């Protein structure tokens, strides 16, 4: 699979790997190993996992090449490139555990790093480059630095690293996770609470002018999209087109409606645990859920995913669209202008709440509960004074569903592979859901990487 293949895009690959394997999403497209994702049945020959793996190494190779040739050219640009490399390595470490470490631009000269070694490399890189990144400053698309990372990106990635430290190294570092999350919370970046027209503050984060409105000030690392210039079937084009069908013209904003990806019933249950689900379009659905984040379309659709090939078997997710807040489509009727917020400030609030709760017997109170309530108030949802870890896990899903991170959270909460009694439809390939082996918490390393990197060890459980 090459970069010219539309399915090889960075965001698209990340989304498939981290969403279709979880309780949030299923897909009706039957090729390229998608069904294996939905059934948690991937192995070392899985084509999309291999594509994602090598796509990440392509990015690392480009970063290394820049650093070899231009490291002394500009201190700020060098720090930014090193951040990008650290982010790529983070996704590799999170997904595959022990992975090749590149000193050049090919796997031929790579050496094996254990998961712990990679953790400490990423940590040291972020701590070393942080002083050289530009000061934290919220930006919109009119700013020439929009789309470039600053200190807040390093803080947020460190917070994510430390929040998952027990998974990666066996040692907890929740105090550090809370510390760096707080730095982001009190930085110039802020939750979008602006409401424009009939659009909620939350919905504005996923619209065609999200880089121009106040929504942009929540985006710590936005990936800009320009419909007339990019014309690729990845990122938000993929997220919008694959999540809509022709019956959803009022919530799409593009001519593309593939009818592939939709919500698992278990995601719907985060808002409607008693199955009292309305038949409604996105805005009325969110209103019935008493939570602006429940942006789904249930009209003419069934809640259960009994047939993966039928887009009506499961509610459609209309979270991303190509409308502006004025209600207009953008210049291109096909390709969206909707930026993808790869990292946004809301993550810091939930990281702070969870890390604090894990240091306090599994209960979020006081400032930790307040952090969650900031997100819920923004969504016009009811607030509480106390949250359990299970409730925080659900809150991660409500806030970040379909944004390409759910698998990481389920593993951290012990709800993915292994003996967990947490089930979802089609988990492990069973419609009712069934547990699958814990070794699937790590992806299998592609055979091509095994052949190219001396000493690289296949993850246990895979042939």
Q: Which residues share a beta bridge with 317? A: 296
Q: Is the confidence at residue 134, as pLDDT, over 90?
A: yes
How many other C-beta atoms can be found within 10 angstroms of the C-beta atom of residue 437?
13
**CA–CA separation, 414 vs 391, rounded Å?**
14
Tokens of 347: 């993550």
Across the chain, mean pLDDT equals 94
Quick: pLDDT tens for 287-326. Answer: 999 999 999 999 999 999 999 999 999 999 999 999 999 8
Predicted confidence band of residue 183 (pLDDT cuts 50, 70, 90): very high
Per-residue pLDDT, averaged over 238-253, amounts to: 87
Contact 21, 255 (CB under 8 A): no
pLDDT at 103: 83
Least confident of 70-79, 158-167, 198-207, 240-249: 240-249
The beta-strand segments (E) located in 224-365 are: 261-263, 296-297, 316-317, 340-344, 363-364
pLDDT at 88: 98
Predicted confidence band of residue 250 (pLDDT cuts 50, 70, 90): confident
Predicted confidence band of residue 4 (pLDDT cuts 50, 70, 90): very low
Helices and strands (DSSP H and E) totals, the chain:
16, 10
Listed in sequence order, the residues at least 6 apart from 458 whose beta carbon sits closer than 8 Å to its beta carbon are: 44, 444, 445, 450
Least confident of 75-89, 416-430, 441-455: 441-455
Domains and CATH numbers, the chain: 1-133+404-463 (1.25.40.390), 229-325 (1.10.3780.10)
Where do we find the tokens 């009712």?
A: 432
**CA–CA separation, 237 vs 234, rounded Å?**
6
Q: Which residues share a beta bridge with 329? A: 323
pLDDT at 352: 99
Predicted confidence band of residue 254 (pLDDT cuts 50, 70, 90): confident
Indicate the angle between helix axes 75-96 and 151-163, nearest 10 degrees: 20
Q: pTM for the full model?
A: 0.96
pLDDT at 99: 96
Which secondary structure element, helix H or strand E, spans residue 286, and what is its range?
A: helix 282-289
How many other C-beta atoms can be found within 10 angstroms of the C-beta atom of residue 331?
11
Per-residue pLDDT, averaged over 339-357, amounts to: 98
Residue among 333, 336, 304 at smallest CA distance from 320: 336
Q: Is the confidence at residue 244, as pLDDT, over 50?
A: yes
Quick: pLDDT tens for 381-406. Answer: 999 999 999 999 999 999 999 999 99
What Å distances lie between residue 84 and 46, 69, 93, 149, 405, CA to CA?
A: 26, 17, 14, 9, 18
Tokens of 45: 């020959």
């Amino acid at each position: 699979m090459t970069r010219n293949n539309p399915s090889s895009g960075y965001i698209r690959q990340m989304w498939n790997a981290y969403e279709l394997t979880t309780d949030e999403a299923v897909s009706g497209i039957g090729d390229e190993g998608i069904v294996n994702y939905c059934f948690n049945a991937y192995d070392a020959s899985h084509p999309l996992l291999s594509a994602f793996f090598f796509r990440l190494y392509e990015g690392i190779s480009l970063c290394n090449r820049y650093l070899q040739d231009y490291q002394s050219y500009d201190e700020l640009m060098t720090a930014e490139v090193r951040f990008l490399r650290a982010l790529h390595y983070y996704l590799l470490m999170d997904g595959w555990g022990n992975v090749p470490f590149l000193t050049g631009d090919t796997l031929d000269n790579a050496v094996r790093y254990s998961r712990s070694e990679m953790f400490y490399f990423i940590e040291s890189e972020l701590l070393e480059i942080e002083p050289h990144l530009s000061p934290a400053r919220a930006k919109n698309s009119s700013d020439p630095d929009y789309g470039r990372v600053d200190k807040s990106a390093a803080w947020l990635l460190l917070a994510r690293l430390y929040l998952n430290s027990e998974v990666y190294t066996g040692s907890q570092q929740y105090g550090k996770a809370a510390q760096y999350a707080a730095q982001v919370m009190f930085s110039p970046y802020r939750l979008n609470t602006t409401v424009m027209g009939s659009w909620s503050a939350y919905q504005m984060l996923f619209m065609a002018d999200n880089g121009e409105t106040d929504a942009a000030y929540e985006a710590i690392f936005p990936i800009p999209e320009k419909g007339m210039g990019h014309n690729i079937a990845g990122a938000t084009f993929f997220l919008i087109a694959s999540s809509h069908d022709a019956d959803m013209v009022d919530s799409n904003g593009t001519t593309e409606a593939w009818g592939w990806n939709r919500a698992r019933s278990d995601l719907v249950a985060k808002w409607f645990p008693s199955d009292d689900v309305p038949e409604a379009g996105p805005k009325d659905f969110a209103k019935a859920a008493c939570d602006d984040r429940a942006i789904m379309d249930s009209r003419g659709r069934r809640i259960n995913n009994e047939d993966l090939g039928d887009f009506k078997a499961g509610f459609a997710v209309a979270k991303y669209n190509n409308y502006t807040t004025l209600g207009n489509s953008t210049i291109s009727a096909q390709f969206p202008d909707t930026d993808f917020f790869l990292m946004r400030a809301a993550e810091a609030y939930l990281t702070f709440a969870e890390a604090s709760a894990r240091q306090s017997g599994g209960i979020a109170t006081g400032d930790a509960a307040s952090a969650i309530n900031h997100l819920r108030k923004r969504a016009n949802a009811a607030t509480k004074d106390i949250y359990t870890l299970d409730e925080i896990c659900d809150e991660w899903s409500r806030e970040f569903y379909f944004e390409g991170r759910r698998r990481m959270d389920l593993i951290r909460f012990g709800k993915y592979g292994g003996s967990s009694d947490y089930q979802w439809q089609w988990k492990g390939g069973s419609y009712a859901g069934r547990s699958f082996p814990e070794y699937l918490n790590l992806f299998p390393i592609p055979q091509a990487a095994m052949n190219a990197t001396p000493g690289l060890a296949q993850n246990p459980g895979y042939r």
